[in-house]
Structure 1
C-alpha cells in the first residue's frame, strides 16, 4: 500500500495518460471509484449483482478487486454483458471459496488476480476468463468437484471465516423467497457442549455408541452436523428425538437445510456422513466450476514457450527471500536472454 502513490504518479506521467490530459485522468479515477463503491461499499443498484458483491464481501475476497474492477469497467462499457459479468463474479466467488475449503495456500492469489485482467483477451470474454481459471497450475488450481466435496464434508466449517456465509448460500440457492438467515443462529445437531466432552449428556453418548467421544470430536463442527434454527435455546443439549419433535423442532422446520431431519431415526456417525454427502452434492451447484469441455479448453492452452509470465519467484514462496531471490532473478535473466 505504501507504494500506491508512487505507482500512481508513474501512471499519470506516462505518455498516453499525460497526452490525454488531467480531465481524462480524473474521469478515469471517478469511474473506477464508482465501480469500487458498488462492489465494496454496497451501492450497486442491480439487485442480483448487489447480492453477488455482498457474498464476495462476506467471503472477504479483497484480493480479487484488481480483476473485478477491470470486469466491472468492461461491463459498464458494454464490452461484457450483464449476464456474463454476473457469472464471472460468481466464478471468482467459487474459486476463492473452493480453495479456502480445500486449504490451498493463498499467497499467490494477489498477483494472479492482478495479472489475469491485464493478459485477458476480450473476444469471447467469459469463455476466455473461465479457461484462464481452469488452466491455472496446481498450486493455483480451481479445485474440481470431487476434491471440493471431499474436503467440504470433513472441514471444520463452524470455525470458518464466515459461519453464516456458506449456510446462507446453501439455504437460499435457487430460492426466489429468500430466507433471512441473519435472523437465525447456527445449530449443532449433535451438541458441541462448550467443546468439553465431559459435558456431553448420557443420552447422546448412548446414541453415538461405544466410540462416542471420537465421533463427537471428529464430526461436531462439520458440514453434516451444522444447520440453522430460530430455536437454538429451546434445543440446547436435548436428545435428537426431542430436537425433532418439540414445538418448532426439525420435523416442522421450513428450511431446506433441515429437510428430512425429522425423518431420521437416530443421529450418529452414519447419519452425519449421509447428510454431509447430500449437502456436498448440492454445494457443487452453488459454487460451480467453469463448464468448458476438454476440446475447447485445449484450444486455450498456451504454447510451451519460456516467457517471463511462465516463471516468477512469487510462485515459490520458500525461495522468495534474500540471496535465493537474487540467484533466481539472475538465472531467469540468463534464460530469457
Structure 2
C-alpha cells in the first residue's frame, strides 16, 4: 500500500525531517544540461508567478520509504528510493541561493534558509535534512557549511558553482536583474513533485519498477491527433484522407509536434514544447462544432506546408527568400522558426511581400551574426525570438517591425561601435558553436564576390599566429609588447580574435609554422581572406588589429545593425566575467590576462573592475606569475580576510616566493568552458579505428607528428600508442585539419557507449579528457577520476591539479621523450583499460 500526493519542496523540507540516500544508490550525477534546464524552468516560473502566484511547475516524482531504523527521536526519516538527483540538486541550489542572499542582501538569510530547509537545528543527531551517499557527503557538507572547499571539482561542487554563477550573472544584469525573493519562492513553493510514500514492509523496488516501466509513449502529436479525431465523430474519415494524411506525408512526427508548438508560441510565448498537447487541448476545448474542428485541421495543414518550406528551403520559389532561409537553416537554430512561420504566413495571407520577409530574415541573420561577433551568441536569444511575433510593432511593415523589436531592450543586437570594439578584442574562436564560427568566415569570404566558389567541407579555421607559438613567433610578438605586458598576456589577447583567423584546407600543414612559410602557402590559396594575409610582410599585433578593423567594416556593411534607438555605446560583458569566476573550483586560480582575454578587455581594466565592484571569487584572480596583486583589496569593507591565507585554505599551493602553482591555473579556454560557452564535443568527430599501416588517417597522424615534433618525442609518442593497442585498446582519429588520435577503450557500439582516457594532438599536447569521463561509466565515479589523476602525476614533468577534474587538462608530448615517463604512463593506461573492461554493469 502506498500513498501518493502532489507536494512542494517547502512541504517536504519544513519540520523535523531527514531524507537519506541509501548507500547502494549511485552517486550524484546531474551535469550542466540538467542544471541549465532546471534553472531556466525556475526563472520562467518566477516571472509567471507574478501574475499567477499559485502556478507550479511539475518536476517529477519522489519515491520514499520509511527508514527501518526510525525511532522516537522526533525526526521523520525516509529513504530516497527514487528522485535523489532532483532533491539533491534543489538542496544545492538552496545553499547557493542562501550564500548569495546572505552576501548581497541580509546576513540573516543564512540562518533562515538553513533552519527552514537545510538543517534540523535542534536535532544534532539528525542535523542534515538531506543525507547524500557517503561518496557525495563531504562535498555536500562543504556547500552546506560554506567552507573554503565548497564548489570543488566533483559533481556536487559543479552544481553549486553552476547555480552560484547564474545568481552572480543575474545580479549584474541591470536591465533584467534577478528578483531573488521570487526565485526562492519559485524553488520552495513552485517546484511541484508527486511524493510516493510506501508503507513499512512494502516492496519499494516493485513500486519503482512500475513507475518507470511505461513502455513506448505517445508523442504530443499523437495525443493531439487522437483528440482532434475524437471530436470528429461524423467527418473524421473524410478529414483524415483530405487533410491529415497529406500533412503527415509532409512532416514527420517530430516536425508535427514542432508545428503545433509553433502555433501556440505566436499567442503564448511562455508555452514549453513539452506542454504542447495540454495547451492545444485547452484552446480547442473552446470549439464546439465539427466544422470548427475541421477548420482547425485545415489551418494546421496550411501552416504545415509553410513549415515544410522552412525545413526544406530548396522548395521555396523566391530566390532571395530561399537564400535567407538556407542561411538561417545553416546557422542551425530553431529559435527563429516561430518568426519564420509567421513571416511566411503573412506573405501567404497577402499582408507582406517576398522582398519584405526576405529583408526581415536578413535582420534576423544580422542579429545572430553581430551577437556572435560581440560574444553574446546565446544570451537570452531563445526568449527574445519566441516573443518577437507577439511583441513587435503592428504599425510598421514587417521587416521594419522585426528590426525595431530586436533593436530595443537588452537583446544584444550589437551596434556598429560594439562590432568595431569586439572584433579587435573578443576571443571569437571561443564563442558560439564551431559550425557558426566557420559559417561567419565562409559568409565573409562570399562577401568578396569571388568567382571561385568556396568548398566549405574541405576548409577549417586556421590561427595565423598559432596557439602554440614557436621561438620565431615569440620574437615577432615580443617586438609589439607594451609597457610591462608579458608575452603570455599579449598572445592570449590576440590569438583567438577574428583578426587572427582565416579559412584554409591546409590547417595541419601550416600549424605553428613561421609566418614566412604560412604566407607562401596562403598566397597560393584562391580564398580572398588569405590573399589579404599573404600580402603582409610580418604578422604581429599591428597587422592583426588592422585586419580586425577591415573585417569589422565588412561585417557592418554586410549585416545591417539595429535602429538608432539601440544607442551607440559598446559594453564589456562583465556578467560573463562574473559567471566564469563564480564557476572557478576551489583550489584553482586564474590570471587577470586570462579574464581579460575571455571578455575582450585589458588586464588593467579587469583589475580596476574587481577592485571597485564585488565579484565572486575575486581573490582567485592573480597576476600572471601567480602572485597577489599589490593593489588587491576587497570591495566589501566588511571582508578582512588575508586573501593569501584564504587561497591556501582552499587548496592553492604556493612556492617559497609566494607564487601559486601554475598547474592549478585555469586558462582562458578552460574559463570559457566554466562560463558555459559551447564546447566542441570530440566524440562527434571520431573517425574509423586504426587498421594497420594502410589506414590514411593513421598515416596522416604520423606524418603530422613527425613534421611538428622532434624525432625523439615523435618516437616516444608512437611507442605509447603501440603499447595501448597491445593492451587491447583501439586508436580512433579526429576529422579536423589537425589529425588528433584518441586512445579508445570502448567503441560507441558498447552498451555503455564509448570511452577514452586521452587524445593526442600532433602539435604537442597529450590531453586528459576528464570532462568526458565524468559522464562515462565507470569513470563517472569521481573517486576513479581522482585515482587516475594521482597516477598521472607520478610521471616526471606532469602535475595536474585536482581543480581540473571536470576539464581537459594535459601535458606536453615532450614528456614522452623520457623512457621512465613512458613506462609509467603505459602502466597507468593499462590500469585505466582494466577498469573499463572489467566494469560490471
Return the offset for 1:50: 3.6
The aligned residue for residue 358 of structure 2 is: 86
The answer to whether structure 1 residue 159 and structure 2 residue 430 are counterparts is yes
Q: How many residues align?
A: 282
CA separation of 1:44/1:252 partners in 2, compared to 1, >3 Å: closer, same or farther?
A: same
CA separation of 1:153/1:57 partners in 2, compared to 1, >3 Å: closer, same or farther?
A: farther
Once residues 95 and 71 of structure 1 are traced to their aligned partners in structure 2, the CA distance between those partners, rounded to angstroms, is 16
Return the offset for 1:64: 2.3
The aligned residue for residue 317 of structure 1 is: none
Deviates more, 1:3-12 or 1:17-26: 17-26
Once residues 343 and 415 of structure 2 are traced to their aligned partners in structure 1, the CA distance between those partners, rounded to angstroms, is 24
Return the offset for 1:8: 1.1
The answer to whether structure 1 residue 149 and structure 2 residue 427 are counterparts is no
The aligned residue for residue 271 of structure 1 is: 543
Higher Cα radius of gyration: 2
Return the offset for 1:21: 2.3
The answer to whether structure 1 residue 209 and structure 2 residue 478 are counterparts is yes
Matching of residues 247-326 of structure 1 within 5 Å:
249-290=521-562
Once residues 335 and 315 of structure 2 are traced to their aligned partners in structure 1, the CA distance between those partners, rounded to angstroms, is 20
Identify the structure with the greater helix proportion. 1
CA separation of 1:268/1:293 partners in 2, compared to 1, >3 Å: closer, same or farther?
A: closer
Aligned with 1:228: secondary structure? strand
Matching of residues 50-69 of structure 1 within 5 Å:
50-69=322-341
CA separation of 1:251/1:4 partners in 2, compared to 1, >3 Å: closer, same or farther?
A: same
Q: Give yes or no for contact 2:360–2:398 (8 Å, CA) kept in 1.
A: no
Aligned with 2:429: secondary structure? coil
The aligned residue for residue 26 of structure 1 is: 297
Return the offset for 1:12: 2.4
Aligned with 1:140: secondary structure? coil
Return the offset for 1:103: 3.9
Q: Deviations over 1:141-192 (max 9, x none)?
A: 5221111221233222223312311111111126374422222121111112
2:516 paired residue among 216, 235, 241? 241
Cα RMSD for the two superposed structures = 2.7
With a CA cutoff of 8 Å and minimum separation of 6, indicate the structure with the bigger relative contact order.
Answer: 1
Q: Give yes or no for contact 2:370–2:419 (8 Å, CA) kept in 1.
A: yes
The aligned residue for residue 188 of structure 1 is: 463
CA separation of 1:81/1:275 partners in 2, compared to 1, >3 Å: closer, same or farther?
A: same
Deviates more, 1:91-100 or 1:64-73: 91-100
Identify the structure with the greater strand proportion. 2
CA separation of 1:262/1:114 partners in 2, compared to 1, >3 Å: closer, same or farther?
A: closer
TM-score by length of 2: 0.31
Q: Give yes or no for contact 1:75–1:82 (8 Å, CA) kept in 2.
A: yes
Return the offset for 1:123: 5.5
Which structure 2 residue ranges, 5 or more long, are not aligned?
1-272, 482-486, 567-841
Q: Give yes or no for contact 1:187–1:229 (8 Å, CA) kept in 2.
A: yes
Return the offset for 1:293: 6.9
Q: Deviations over 1:58-77 (max 9, x none)?
A: 43432222222111111233
Aligned with 2:488: secondary structure? helix
Return the offset for 1:116: 2.7
Q: Give yes or no for contact 1:35–1:69 (8 Å, CA) kept in 2.
A: yes
TM-score by length of 1: 0.74
The aligned residue for residue 821 of structure 2 is: none
1:10 paired residue among 274, 282, 292? 282
